[in-house]
Amino acid sequence: MAAATNASEKFGSFGDIISQNPGTIATAIFIVLLTLLYWEGLSKLIPGIPYTARSQWKFFGDAFDFVRYSEETGEGFRWFSTKAAELGSPVCQVFLSPFLKPIVVVADIQELIDMSTRRAREFDRGDYLSGWVGILFPEGTISMPSHDKFKDQRNIWSSTITSQFLNSVSARTIH
């Protein structure tokens, strides 16, 4: 009992520590909250898909590399294929934004053909591109997920992609 009393006298109570050092406590709480925000913002890996290891621990992941490449070359989308080549895999994941899932890049043309022709029902439109395009065109076909409204709108568009329409209207304009 005497040892507990000595420690209490030496260090004071918890309330005394807080009242004597409010700035230190506030700083410690701020650092803990900032650390939790950082950890929550990091992209969650998809197991088994290659990625750039250093980008996993960056808050903005590969975003700055993407922007730098786009500014240097003037081509944004080519960065995705160079990233796949850099990782030595036709399928890889990139991290372009905090708090979001990684983007899976498929750079194998045969796999893309298979996915879009034979397995289209297994995949839906991604939220990332839809989110950005949706800002400009909230009711646009490209920014909609595959639900009933999208299917209705796609049926309306279907008449404009028939071979007769393309040959009689679009081909002249394009030519």
Confidence category of residue 160, pLDDT binned at 50, 70, 90 = confident
Cα torsion angle, 7, 11, 12, 17, sign:
negative
Q: Residue 36 has what pLDDT?
A: 92
Residue 141: CB partners within 8 Å, gap ≥ 6?
150, 153, 154, 157
8 Å CB contact between 48 and 89: no
pTM surpassing 0.85?
Answer: no
8 Å CB contact between 103 and 126: yes
Q: Rg of the chain over CA atoms, in angstroms?
A: 27
Residue 66: CB partners within 8 Å, gap ≥ 6?
76, 79, 94, 96
What SS3 class is residue 140? coil
Domain map (residue ranges) of the chain: 43-118, 119-150
Give pLDDT tens digits for 86-140.
Answer: 999 989 999 988 888 888 888 888 888 888 788 877 776 666 667 777 777 777 7
Give pLDDT tens digits for 32-87.
Answer: 999 999 888 888 889 999 999 888 888 898 999 999 999 999 888 889 989 999 99
Any bridge partners for residue 105, and if so which?
92
Q: Residue 72 has what pLDDT?
A: 92
Confidence category of residue 1, pLDDT binned at 50, 70, 90 = low
Cα torsion angle, 71, 73, 74, 77, sign:
negative
